[in-house]
Amino acid sequence: MSVLMQEMGNRALRLGVPLAVQLDLTYRCNEQCVHCYLDHHDHGEMTTVEIKHLLKEMAEAGVFILTLSGGEIFMRKDFFEILECARELTFCIKLKTNAVLIREAQAERLRDLGVESIQVSIYSDRPEVHDAITKVPGSLRRSLSAIRFLKSLGLKVVIANVLMTENMHDHHGVRALAEELGAHYTLDPTVTPMMDGDRSVLGLKAGVSDLHTLFRDESYVGDAEEFCALPPTPTEDSMDSLPCSAGHTAAYVSPYGEFYPCVQFPLSCGNVRQQPFIDIWRDSPQLKEVRSIRLRDLSSCSQCSHGATCTRCPGLAFLEGNMRGPSTADCEKSFARTGIPSKNLLAKKETPSLPRLVQIQLVPAITGSRLSTLDRAATAVSA
Amino acid sequence: MSKALYVARSPRIAARKLGEEMLVMSAQGSTLFTLNPTATILWQAADGATPLDEIVERRICSAFDVKREDALRDAEALAGDLAKHGILLLSEEPIGSSSPVKEQPQP
């Protein structure tokens, strides 16, 4: 994140402005990815008119960065009508798609409409692995063709590589592919439980041993010794820190109008079909509760040695049953980085085993801000 | 007498007012800018139909204690700068769908 963007985030926080919103246009999808957290049936999506009305409300509320996602956004026949409306309202538009339905004509329209970036999910550079994850034969070939169209028109493409057991060893191949295509590359070793609470997909998540290796790969994390340093003692400032932007400067709206703090934090705060967007943003008791939570309020994490530097996701904690509780996936990441089990893992007696050859070296204490920057990379490593 | 200069907001940028400043991002290069209150006034008034000197007189001289000549000189420099970044379009004729627009080199 640029310094200017960070400044804008801080200003939006002071002003109480929802700077960034993800709007999922549909949960329907033409791929059936093995790790997906969504129910792909249509349970009554917002209509074109409803979405255009919502876009106006969001523009008036100050939303600047609008991520349109799904499901697969191109499954909506009115997608370009919605996109045109959003651009007329001068949103900065980011798209998330599998790109399977993008041909030259669609790519040209995206260019003409001034979309900021298009994020495409690629799981492997090997068709047999990628297509097995999406369950669509030929999907890698089609997604890559689309990326080539988009790049040939000068559009910014981000290849998003979710890492799980099925593709754990393919990330270098995907990254090389991104370089060859002139695309940005983002790696995310997080598998999210289903929105309805079903946790069975978590069986696909990368193991601690694999995370341990990944977090020592300096081509992703920079200085591995710094990245994997022992956590510093939490300070008073860190005890008052905010966990993330969810509900503070960012929000999520589902295809059915449900308003959540974040796509990964399905705490219903209202529905934009029943209330104006700004009323939910300002007055929802659920959002007020989310905004009130500080590290010192977390019974387990405030006592944990990782407290100040952990990437704890409040949404994943919520999906685990308590938004003030720990997020075990993040405990595992902290453990994989440092070799120090979190208070939560110790309480569960679930300390996963690490390769015995690895030594955790003591390094001089580094500042919280440096660590927090590096820690974010543990969740979404960008190259 | 110099020709009138018309300014229009580029349709390829994203923009939103945040407090007193305007956030502007050009899609090309994903570059983020913030416009100060004066630049924000100019940006908001840049409809492609109103000449720059008229915008300065109506919107800037009326809001700030500044001489017209000084304000116009500053506004021309600012418009040129914003045009270089692809944020504004400049033309010696009103800017509509078919009017010629000065292409500005990207920095």
Q: What is the DSSP string of B25-76?
A: EETTTTEEEEE-HHHHHHHHH-EEEEEHHHHIIIIITTTSS--HHHHHHHHH
Partner-chain contact A64 B14, CB within 8 Å: yes
Helix (H) or strand (E) holding A329: helix A328-338
Strand partners for A251: A21
Domain coordinates in residue numbering, chain B: 23-90
pLDDT band at B29 (very low <50, low <70, confident <90, very high): low
Name the DSSP class of A100.
T
pLDDT of residue B2: 67
- Percent of chain B past pLDDT 90, that is, above it, reads 41
A15 within 8 A of B19, measured Cβ to Cβ: yes
ipTM of the assembly? Answer: 0.80
In chain A, residues with a C-beta closer than 8 Å to the C-beta of B13 are 90, 114
- The phi and psi torsions of A311 (rounded to 5 degrees) equal -90, 20
pLDDT of residue A351: 58
What's the average model confidence in pLDDT over B59-78?
89
pLDDT tens for the 383 residues of chain A, in order:
678 888 889 999 999 999 999 999 999 999 999 999 999 999 999 999 999 999 999 999 999 999 999 999 999 999 999 999 999 999 999 999 999 999 999 999 999 999 999 999 999 999 999 999 999 999 999 999 999 999 999 999 999 999 999 999 999 999 999 999 999 999 999 898 888 878 889 999 998 899 999 999 999 999 999 999 988 888 888 888 887 899 999 999 999 999 999 999 999 999 999 999 999 999 999 999 999 999 889 888 888 889 888 889 999 999 999 999 999 999 999 999 999 999 999 988 765 655 443 333 333 333 233 223 223 333 333 33
Chain center to CA of A337:
20
From the candidates A17, A64, A110, which should be mutated to test the interface with B, based on the most B CB atoms within 10 A? Answer: A64
pLDDT of residue B63: 83
The chain B residue lying nearest A91, using CA atoms, is B14
**Residue A264 has which token pair?**
């990964």
Yes or no: domain B23-90 corresponds to CATH 1.10.10.1150: yes
Largest Cα span, chain A: 60
- Angstrom distances, CA of residue A205 to CA of A263, A297, A311, B63, B93: 18, 29, 17, 59, 60
Strands of the sheet with A157-162, listed across from one edge: A259-260, A250-253, A20-24, A65-69, A92-97, A117-121, A157-162, A184-188, A381-382
In chain B, residues with a C-beta closer than 8 Å to the C-beta of A182 are none
